[in-house]
Chain A
Amino acid sequence: QVHLQESGPGVVKTSETLSLTCNISGDSVNVHHWSWLRQSAGNGLEWIGRLYIGGTTLYNPSLKSRVTMSVDRSQNQLSLRLTSVTAADAARYYCARSGVVTPRGYYYYYHGMDVWGQGTTVSVSS
């Protein structure tokens, strides 16, 4: 069974950098694509970016200038960095498998996100 676990500092100060990690068990960063998303009361669900199997990334244009996603293959772990945070970045952050894996093992990378972590809440203080 695939399990994703996000972790982070909980609170970040305005203008500083937010760093989160996502530990993956039951799957591999080398086999599927992965996404980061966030959810706030004001902006609903927002996709932040996708990390492809080969290591390339695609970011939401609205966040592209401040976001970096990376992978530690030895740890089977994803990382997210968001610079120059403001109050608007306060949200619950999720990592998710990007695509759908069927019971027969077919991977449809162009569909929704079929496995999500429980999320980690980030508050921004001044």
Chain B
Amino acid sequence: EIVLTQSPGTLSLSPGEGATLSCRASQRVSGDYLAWYQQRPGQAPRLLIYGASTRATGVPDRFRGSGSGTDFTLSISRLEPEDFGVYYCQQYGGSPLYTFGQGTKLEI
């Protein structure tokens, strides 16, 4: 099983600042099939990034994914109040087919 470890556990920032979230895999993520999700309280996860760096439809360009192999990063610039929530990374292709990180809570 590919285990994804996210850091930090919690990030406390102010509007206008930038955020950097990390996701480290226990083994190489094949094809860089790494996705990021945002989850606000009481809502389902929302896909932000797929293929490590491609923004999903409608995602602002303030969100940027990068990385390859075992180390991936989600960067959010110019934080806005609606960016608060929990962010998860997810890999595709191992066994089980999908696994998720434990999440990073972004407090604005």
Chain A neighbourhood of B93, CB < 8 A: 110
Contact A60 B47 (CB under 8 A): no
Given contacts A50-B97, A111-B35, contact A44 B92 (CB under 8 A): no
Closest A residue to B56 by beta carbon equals: A114
Q: Is A58 an interface position by the 8 A CB rule?
A: yes
Interface flags, B38-55, vs A, CB<8A=1, else 0: 000001111100110000
Q: Tell me the complex Cα distance, A3–B75, Å.
A: 29
Interface flags, A108-126, vs B, CB<8A=1, else 0: 1011111011110000000
Q: Is A47 an interface position by the 8 A CB rule?
A: yes
Query: Looking at B37, B47, B51, which has the most chain A CB atoms within 10 Å of its CB?
Result: B47
Closest A residue to B37 by beta carbon equals: A112
Contact A108 B98 (CB under 8 A): no
Contact A100 B97 (CB under 8 A): no
Smallest CB separation, B51 vs chain A (Å): 6
Residues 56-108 of B at the A interface (beta carbon under 8 Å): 56-57, 88, 90, 92-93, 95-103
Given contacts A100-B56, A102-B57, A119-B44, contact A110 B96 (CB under 8 A): no
Q: Is A21 an interface position by the 8 A CB rule?
A: no
Contact A116 B102 (CB under 8 A): no
Closest B residue to A112 by beta carbon equals: B35
Given contacts A110-B31, A112-B50, A113-B47, contact A46 B100 (CB under 8 A): yes
Given A45-B90, A116-B45, A119-B44; 14 other pairs, CB 8 A cutoff: A46-B100, A47-B100, A58-B97, A60-B96, A102-B57, A103-B57, A110-B92, A110-B93, A111-B33, A111-B51, A112-B56, A113-B45, A114-B57, A118-B44
Q: B residues engaging A (CB < 8 A)?
A: 31, 33, 35, 37, 43-47, 50-51, 56-57, 88, 90, 92-93, 95-103
24 A-B contacts (beta carbon < 8 Å): A37-B98, A44-B101, A44-B102, A44-B103, A45-B100, A46-B100, A47-B100, A58-B97, A100-B56, A110-B31, A110-B33, A110-B92, A111-B33, A111-B50, A112-B37, A113-B35, A113-B47, A114-B56, A116-B44, A116-B45, A116-B46, A117-B44, A118-B44, A119-B44
